[in-house]
Chain A
Amino acid sequence: MIPAVRPRVLLAAVAGAAALLAAGCTRSKEETALKLGHAPIVDDLGRFTPEAVGAPVSDNPWISHVSIVDLDQDGLPDILATDDRLNAIVWLRQVRPGKFEEAVLYGDLPAVVHVEAVDFNHTGHLDLLVACMGQVFPNNDKIGSVIILENDGRQHFIKHVLLDHVARVTDVQAANLAGHTDGKLDLAVAQFGYIQGEIRWMKNLGGWKFESQNLLNLSGTINVCCADLCGQGHTDIVAVVSQEWEEVVLFRNDGSGNFSPSVLFGSTNEDYGSSGISLCDLNRDGRPDILYTNGDGFAYADPGTRPWHGVQWLENRGNGVFQYHRLGNLAGAYAPVGVSLDNDGVMDIVCVSGFNDWRDKKAASLVAFKNDGKMNFTMHVLAHEPIMQVTCAAGNLDNSGLPSIVTGGFAAYPPFERMGRITVWRQKPKAR
């Protein structure tokens, strides 16, 4: 027999349960689930027309860097690339609009992985800053070098070895770091090494003499970039350090070449796979931002993808403060480049994939993160092949008014299929 219960008691019990339920339906702010906020993805395969330029693919290509530059200053932008099969810098000269002819510009550069054109000695001709690893694949020997190829004005080059027998060099950039008043340019140098590496800057003493100063003693630096990142009128250095450290480090310059480091981003995941940085004023606020990819799939087992590979934007908030934004996932992401693809002043990001799941024929090899102008990004898949692209540049190669993209392929691991060496991607005119 069920005992009679006073309605008041029953009411209280029900009210208690209701209160509990109600409590369950409301959440405090901290209890609200966070979202990682990745860009939506759309196919945009028809936007660009690819064209393989230069020498044909005769073997697995090993192009580690491409850049767009009018080397001979004839008004037609050319392509420079580092070819690690040839141990050479190749020049794809645009001899007439849209027509490229390839030649070895300079050889005998062991594992050359970065070339930067800059008028280093103010002669009006573009010299080449060259980073050589000595060997691309893991090696802790001191076999790296920094070289400047001085241009005589006719694209004949005098070789100046500024640094050799050092941990493998992956990037070199020129900037006034010491606060020179006579126009001299110094160098920032990334040395990946393997177990040991470093970041240094080299003060230009004149007459091709330099004085090195160490900035960081960790292995795995891939890129260095130089700009006034703190808004104090001095050129600072930012670097991405991979291996087990996985950090983006800012070296704030006091104007006289005294640098103080701070970590702008660091992952606690030692397999994060940092793969590159570049600078770009993405939100057009006048401050250079940092574009950053993590997509390195070389580690432990056969190379491949990780679910955390992707593209991020470190927004420069001024005075050395950077806000991290994850833009989206991209397996094997490499070589982020800021460019206004519609030429409307709104900056987008293009990048490539070096380590996607190539068994899937729909895996992206070239993408753009399109900006709606309000810093909302959508990932546009531009191509599924050629696969294994690790370097990318964007700029105006023709007079179409729309920027083109140049990519380079590095096929070190299977599958050796759908390969591309150097590819120019031209935008199709928009349908009105």
Chain B
Amino acid sequence: MAPKAEGAVRPRPRAARIAAALVVAAAAAASGWALWRRQIVVSSLPPVPAAADSELADQLGAAERDARSFLHPVRGLIRLSRLYHANGDYDQALQCYAALRRLQPGNARWPHLEASLLALDGRMDDAIPRERRAVELAPGYVPARLRLAQEYQKSNRGAEAKAEFGRVLARAKDDPYALLGIALCDIQEGDWYGAADPLRRAVAAHPDFVGAMSLMVTVYDHFGDGEHAEMLRQAIGRREFIDLEDPWLDELMDDCYDAYRISVVAAVQYFAGHAEAANALLRRCIRLEPQTAAYRRQYANDLFKEGDLPGAREQLEIAVGLQRDDSDAWLLLYQVEQAMRDLPAASATLLRALACCPKSASLHLERAHLLRAQGQAEEEARELHEAYLDDMRNGEPLEELALLYLGRRRVGDAVALLQEALARQPEDPHAIAMMTFCCIETGDEAGALRWWTDHVCRQPRVPAELKQALQKEYQQKFGRPLP
């Protein structure tokens, strides 16, 4: 009897065959998927542009190798997109983002970043659908929604802009940029009353938000409310508008190798009150360009304001060593040393600074102040005159010189200087107050009244104590009060 063949080779169970097939199919699908992803990455890689910075070139090279690998092509592409975007290679970044949108269609970051570049290039028609997609994918990411609203607004699509700003407010009730946006839409429609309400809300909730404050001043001006306009104008002072924070975009700076670009962002961060972030960026600038004095000066300026005087001094000493004609760095070093109460060092610094920057008006002005403190009036006058000659746009040295002459009863000379100062800085509050004072001194009542009513009363920046002093002088001289 023939042996049973079936007994020697056990029949494979059907389940095992199916499982094996599934494993093979899964492996094939996984390989196919990986190949597909790599194929997309490789086919979308832009030619690598020449990089000015060697570290950037290395980073681009490494990211490119990753992108071409079988293991981490998407990681490489993401890295490339960041490097390109952050370093101003926008066409290359767009190419990466288009591929990333295909590879990760559920990731809102890619359409958002792509939209930001397209909007930057003025292509709102292309930016809007991408930003809209980003908002659909990440409805909680407020910056994308704000940008979409702004893109509508800049495209004359006021109703859509307003609706989108409204959706922001539904999520973040007092978002200052949304409130400002709604007010701008209202003003575009000629609805000034409508604009006032969101602006008031924005200013109340964010008393430091210059965007709403300055537009509120405009609204007050529009309604002829000069008093409130002026109060708000004074509150704004020299502060600047700061754009909205957009973490997905802002974090790209970590991959920027353009030191100047980083220094600008650092300045914005500092204005926005993020001193530590600003200083971290400036340290990066210094690491990238250790021989550039300007970044050290900027860093030192921040440190000075933060109270880190030794740190500021250290940076400034390096800065003036690197660039001996950087008068701003010298001035700051002098001020830091004064603040440290190291007066001998400060005095020596000022002399060294003037030797290196003999045409610096601000250094001559500081020297004049130093000489005044030492009671050396003639030398002070000489320095003030030098300061004026070196910076024709600044009336301050002339005003100080005029003050010096007034102290010596040389009123005519003082008036001549003040006229010159006013030609440089019309309606300068100190100069017009001093002109009024000169008229009082010389008994020119009509002149005093003219300067008082036509200039001092119309210049809100004249300090109140100066006005009071003028009123007192006038009363004493002419026996009646100023109108």
Contacts and interface: CB of A to CB of B under 8 A. Distances in A.
A271 interface: yes
Contacts of A4: 12, 17, 20
Contacts of A414: 325
Contact of B101 (A14, A31, A261): A31
- Chain A's interface: helix, strand, loop or mixed, by majority? loop
A236 to B, nearest CB: 16
A108 interface: yes
B392 interface: yes
B95 A6 contact: no
Q: How large is the interface on A (under 10, 10 to 19, 20 to 34, 35 or more residues)?
A: 35 or more
A312 B120 CA distance: 12
Interface stretch (A16-24, A116-124, A401-409): A16-24
B39 A324 contact: no
B467 interface: no
Contact of B17 (A5, A85, A136, A324): A5
Interface in B103-130: 114, 117-124, 126, 129
Given A14-B28, A196-B214, A307-B261, A268 B151 contact: yes
A244 B88 contact: no
Q: Is the interface of B mostly helix, strand, loop or mixed?
A: helix
A307 B268 CA distance: 17
Given A9-B21, A196-B217, A135 B268 contact: no
Interface in B32-49: 32-33, 35-37, 39-40, 43-44
A90 to B, nearest CB: 16
A9 to B, nearest CB: 4
Interface residues of B, number: 84
B24 A10 contact: yes
Nearest to B213: A195
Interface stretch (B162-170, B236-244, B408-416): B236-244
Contact of B122 (A27, A217, A326): A326
Contacts, number: 197
A108 B424 CA distance: 10
Interface in A95-117: 108, 110
Contact of B40 (A13, A24, A30, A267): A24
A115 B113 CA distance: 43
B306 to A, nearest CB: 17
Nearest to B103: A24
Given A266-B154, A270-B241, A301-B263, A34 B426 contact: no
Contacts of A261: 188
- Most interface-central of B88, B120, B233, B243 (chain A CB within 10 A): B120
A357 B254 CA distance: 22
Contacts of B371: none
Contact of B39 (A16, A25, A141, A195): A25
Contacts of B261: 306-307
B450 interface: no
A2 interface: yes
Nearest to B292: A359
A301 B393 contact: no
Given A5-B17, A36-B91, A135-B426, A302 B263 contact: yes
A143 interface: yes
Nearest to A30: B129
A165 B16 CA distance: 92
A302 B294 contact: yes
A32 B91 CA distance: 12
Contacts of A140: 233
Given A36-B91, A143-B426, A265 B32 contact: no
Given A21-B36, A108-B423, A267-B154, A305 B260 contact: yes
Contacts of B424: 135
A269 B260 contact: no
B298 interface: yes
A27 B16 CA distance: 39
Interface string B51-68: 000000000000000000
Interface string B79-112: 0000000001011001101110110000000000
A17 B32 contact: yes
A221 interface: no
Interface in B195-219: 211, 214, 217-218
B150 interface: yes
Contacts of B155: 263, 266
20 contacts: A16-B28, A24-B40, A24-B43, A138-B238, A195-B233, A196-B218, A217-B218, A263-B156, A267-B119, A268-B119, A268-B147, A268-B150, A269-B120, A269-B243, A272-B120, A302-B263, A302-B294, A306-B264, A308-B121, A326-B123
Interface of B: 12, 16-17, 19-21, 24-25, 28-29, 31-33, 35-37, 39-40, 43-44, 88, 90-91, 94-95, 97-99, 101-102, 114, 117-124, 126, 129, 147, 150-151, 153-156, 187-188, 211, 214, 217-218, 221-222, 233, 236, 238, 240-241, 243, 258, 260-261, 263-264, 266-268, 271, 294, 298, 325, 392-393, 423-427, 458-459, 461
Top 9 A-B pairs, shortest CB-CB distance: A17-B32, A266-B154, A307-B88, A3-B20, A300-B267, A33-B98, A13-B25, A13-B28, A24-B36
